A = this chain, B = another copy of it.
Amino acid sequence: MSERDSRYRINVVAEMTGVPAPTLRAWERRYGIPTPSRTAAAYRLYSDRDVAMVRKLRDLCAGGLSIAEAAQMVLKGEADTFIEAPGHLDAFEAATRRIVAAVIAFDPDLLEREVSRAVYLGSAVTVFEQVLGPVMRQVGDLWHAGTLSVAQEHLASEVVGSVVRALSRLVQPPAPSRRVLLAAFEDEEHVLGLYGVAIRLASWGIRSVDLGARTPPEALADAVARLSPDAVALTLTIALRPERAAATLERYAQACAGVPWFVGGAGAAAVATRVERLGGVVLAGEAATLRAAIEQALAVKPQRP
């Protein structure tokens, strides 16, 4: 390559990779990786290769490995079977891109393969938050932009949806734990977010019961009455019809009578004030908000007897 290898000082590398300088030194001291060259005055000079190595280590760690194992892996050259990131991307971004590319190419086999592979990239929560969630967001965007056909969007939803659903069932904590009821508003077809919530809840030891898409308020009321869940989470990505929004929300609020309830999803912000007036909680930032809200809600109501 005619590319003369540029050299970076440690703080530049820290900036580029997000790994603090002291940590970089610690990695070198403890695992001997990377081993940058030095100036006459012993200042570290990282080559592009070194930087790529740091990125690889960082990604492997994010995937659940310890730094010691990651280092060993990279040293033994095994890392490439595990992650093939084109240099400047981290593993999750790369996986996301490959999956979206498979959707664009309309290649179901490739899509299956890439999605299955992504599942091994880390814990369920990580995979959902870093890969499958973003994939569906991008697919949605591309679809709205007219880049993707309806068929492509369907295919992506089907494959990714089924994997996420399977993941969410796989990680369910054992039975005697608190339970959250999940459902989508009526006319709401998108339930991927619900599975994401289920996965996150599971990682905090909370089970979820999913009623799925298009759950009418009467059904929700019925389920709440019979199951007495510790909370209810609803997803809303579409826009409620303005003239009926108030009535609809009220019916859902009544269905949740006495149980903490949350509304999340892209369409939640639009109804935030109404929801709050009805005693519900709107999940804006999702992950962070959810954690706080759930903790607060479940702290009040102790473990079921």
Chain A residues at the B interface, C-beta cutoff of 8 Å: 2, 4-9, 12, 15-19, 39, 48, 55, 64-66, 68-69, 78, 81-82, 106, 108-109, 112, 120, 123-125, 149-152, 154-155, 157-159, 161-163, 165-166, 169-175, 179, 183, 189, 202-203, 207, 209-216, 218-220, 222-223, 226-227
Q: Please, which residues of chain B bring their CB within 8 A of the CB of A209?
A: 108, 155
Among B4, B7, B226, contact of A69 (Cβ-Cβ < 8 Å): B7
By beta carbon, the residue of chain B nearest A60 is B6
By beta carbon, the residue of chain B nearest A125 is B15
Q: Please, which residues of chain B bring their CB within 8 A of the CB of A172?
A: 18, 112
Q: Return A223 CB to nearest CB of chain B, in Å.
A: 4
Q: Return A61 CB to nearest CB of chain B, in Å.
A: 8
Known: A4-B81, A154-B211. 17 other contacts (CB 8 A): A4-B120, A6-B65, A6-B82, A7-B65, A16-B171, A18-B171, A18-B173, A18-B202, A150-B216, A150-B222, A152-B222, A154-B215, A154-B219, A155-B209, A162-B166, A163-B169, A166-B166
A69 to B41, CA, bound (A): 13
Among B69, B162, B189, B219, contact of A149 (Cβ-Cβ < 8 Å): B219
Assess whether A106 is in contact with B227, with CB atoms less than 8 Å apart. Answer: yes
Given A9-B64, A166-B162, A15–B219 Cβ distance below 8 Å?
no
Assess whether B173 is in contact with A16, with CB atoms less than 8 Å apart. Answer: no
Task: Give the copy number.
Answer: 2
By beta carbon, the residue of chain B nearest A64 is B12
Given A4-B120, A166-B162, A219–B18 Cβ distance below 8 Å?
no
Q: Please, which residues of chain B bring their CB within 8 A of the CB of A223?
A: 106, 151, 154-155
Q: Please, which residues of chain B bring their CB within 8 A of the CB of A154?
A: 183, 211-212, 215, 219, 223
Q: Return A16 CB to nearest CB of chain B, in Å.
A: 6
A28 to B81, CA, bound (A): 30
Assess whether A124 is in contact with B171, with CB atoms less than 8 Å apart. Answer: no
Q: What are 28 A-B pairs with beta-carbon distances under 8 A? A: A4-B81, A6-B82, A8-B64, A9-B64, A9-B66, A12-B64, A15-B125, A15-B203, A16-B170, A18-B170, A18-B173, A18-B174, A19-B174, A39-B68, A106-B223, A106-B227, A108-B209, A109-B175, A112-B169, A149-B222, A150-B215, A152-B222, A158-B211, A158-B212, A161-B212, A162-B169, A163-B169, A166-B169
